[in-house]
Amino acid sequence: MISYDHLTKIYGEGKDAVTALEDVTFTIEKGEVVIFLGPSGCGKTTTLRCTNRLESITRGKVLVNGQDVMDMDAVALRRQMGYVIQDIGLFPNKTIAENIAVVPKLMGWDAKKIAERVDELLSLVRLEPELFRSRYPAELSGGQQQRVGVARGLAADPEILLMDEPFGAIDPINREQIQDEFLKLQERLKKTIAFVSHDIHEAIKMGDRIALFTNGRLVQYDTPAMLLTHPKNKYVADFVGADRALKVLGIVLAKDIINPRPRNLVKGEDPAGDVLKMIEEKGLRHAIVIEQGKPIGYVSPENLKYEQGHVRDLVEKYPMHISKRTPARDILSYMLMLDLLTLCVVDDNGDFIGTVTYNDIQKKVKESYTSDVEMD
Ligand SMILES: Nc1ncnc2c1ncn2[C@@H]1O[C@H](COP(=O)(O)OP(=O)(O)OP(=O)(O)O)[C@@H](O)[C@H]1O
Ligand SMILES: [Mg+2]
């Protein structure tokens, strides 16, 4: 856990004084990824550097696991935190493997363990160990060097990670993949991470919470969903973008809008006539046919009119189903492509667990507009 308690940082003195941070208060809970977001010069890097005491603190406090960093040994403090710096800062005269191994070596790991760890981390950041471990930084592209920087930050398996725009110089395709790998890793390791970005997409994707700064002040500290749906003021709304309703679609998952007990479920053995009557009485558009727990398709009045027999023989099949973790953005895209207003959510077994409808998505997105009236 990292707590910033009225943190203020002023560089220089007198007429040259620059207030880089002013009265910043928030807490990064253990195991959470918090994104420091905001335009250039707003104080993101300074906040990180006050965390591991690379900068002195003018006023206020930084507490790591409840302990004031100013009372801690600076070297010990830095060793328990991995730091990925903004301008990478690899040692030019050390190989890639030696660069990654710096902290493990300081901590006295044996050579075999270090070598294994180096290769593991190189693979993680998608650099083939065989090709890269013996090269020097100058022989790598900027994006590749940045990935080595990330590997180095992770090397000694620190509990806390400070990452300053760790993926900023990596091309979009590799960046997506590294972000995904990183999130997978984080799900397992549950590190406490302060992660600087000025990319709102990255922030929404990677952050459990986002700390949005402007001019050294913390403007809003919230979950990505809250930042998008309840921006505190016009600055936040502008920062997250006019398309924030669409961005909400990326973080809302099927499980957030699922209807586990829709009114239009029928069984395969139900007679067509009964189902037609039920559809008409309830004013539905269609019914979903479930057999042995699985959705086998849907029937609408057109399928049932003048038909006898069981609905199982009259269904139109769904081209696909979705899972609990499918983002609303993808669901909406499937709905548009398939010309369907409802999709079934199934578990790993293919068993029916609910539906998501176009209306459910719309209702959820609509929330992102409600806050406009509250804004100052
Ligand atoms: N050593 C320094 N001396 C004086 N002013 C500094 C120093 N370091 C940073 N600043 C100033 O403090 C403010 C915050 O800088 P900081 O590096 O924290 O910004 P940032 O949010 O990380 O920006 P960027 O996105 O460009 O990296 C800026 O106005 C910057 O010019
Ligand atoms: Mg910076």
Residues of the chain with pLDDT under 70: 368-376
- Rounded alpha-carbon distances, angstroms, from residue 189 to 80, 148, 215: 15, 20, 33
Pair (344, 246) in one structural domain: no
Whether 288 maps to a domain, the answer reads yes
Contact 197, 119 (CB under 8 A): no
Instruction: Answer whether 365 contacts ligand 1 (Cβ < 6 A).
Output: no
Whether 262 maps to a domain, the answer reads yes
Pair (259, 154) in one structural domain: no
Pair (82, 199) in one structural domain: yes
Pair (7, 81) in one structural domain: yes
Structural domain boundaries enclosing 184:
2-251
Say which CATH number the domain at 30 has: 3.40.50.300
Residue 15 Cα to ligand 2 middle (Å): 23
Instruction: Answer whether 46 contacts ligand 1 (Cβ < 6 A).
Output: yes
Out of 251, 284, 300, pick the residue that ends a domain. 251
Q: Which ligand minimizes its atom distance to the CA of 38?
A: 1
Pair (247, 119) in one structural domain: yes
Out of 251, 285, 300, pick the residue that ends a domain. 251
Whether 242 maps to a domain, the answer reads yes
Instruction: Answer whether 41 contacts ligand 1 (Cβ < 6 A).
Output: yes
Residue 215 Cα to ligand 1 middle (Å): 10
Q: Which ligand minimizes its atom distance to the CA of 44?
A: 1
Pair (38, 92) in one structural domain: yes
Instruction: Answer whether 42 contacts ligand 1 (Cβ < 6 A).
Output: yes
pLDDT of residue 3: 97
Out of 216, 251, 286, pick the residue that ends a domain. 251
Which long-range contacts link 61-67 to residues 24+ away (Cβ below 8 Å)? 61/3, 61/4, 61/5, 61/6, 61/7, 62/2, 62/3, 62/4, 62/5, 62/7, 63/1, 63/2, 63/3, 63/5, 64/1, 64/2, 64/160, 65/1, 65/30, 66/1, 66/3
DSSP state of 59: E
d(CA 62, CA 194): 13
Whether 374 maps to a domain, the answer reads no
Query: Is the dihedral angle over the CA atoms 332, 333, 334, 335 positive or is it negative?
Result: positive
Whether 331 maps to a domain, the answer reads yes
pTM: 0.79
pLDDT of residue 373: 42
Whether 375 maps to a domain, the answer reads no
Pair (174, 294) in one structural domain: no
pLDDT of residue 2: 97
Ligand 1 atom index nearest CA of 9: 12
| Ligand 1 pocket mutation, candidates 8, 18, 49, 199, criterion most atoms within 8 A of CB | 18
pLDDT of residue 271: 95
* 218 contacts: CB under 8 Å, gap ≥ 6: 24, 25, 26, 211, 212
Pair (214, 115) in one structural domain: yes
pLDDT of residue 244: 81
Instruction: Answer whether 20 contacts ligand 1 (Cβ < 6 A).
Output: yes
Pair (271, 329) in one structural domain: yes
Instruction: Answer whether 51 contacts ligand 1 (Cβ < 6 A).
Output: no
Overall domain count for the chain? 2
d(CA 367, CA 264): 26
Q: Which ligand minimizes its atom distance to the CA of 49?
A: 1
Pair (47, 157) in one structural domain: yes
Pair (293, 192) in one structural domain: no
Residue 55 Cα to ligand 1 middle (Å): 11
Instruction: Answer whether 276 contacts ligand 1 (Cβ < 6 A).
Output: no
Residue with tokens 């253990």: 30
pLDDT of residue 370: 60
- Rounded alpha-carbon distances, angstroms, from residue 298 to 59, 257, 285, 345: 65, 20, 10, 14
Residues in the chain: 376
Whether 376 maps to a domain, the answer reads no
Residue 48 Cα to ligand 2 middle (Å): 9
Pair (264, 217) in one structural domain: no
Q: Are strands 67-68 and 59-64 parallel, antiparallel or unpaired?
A: antiparallel
Dump pLDDT digits (tens) for 8-32: 999 999 898 999 999 999 999 999 9
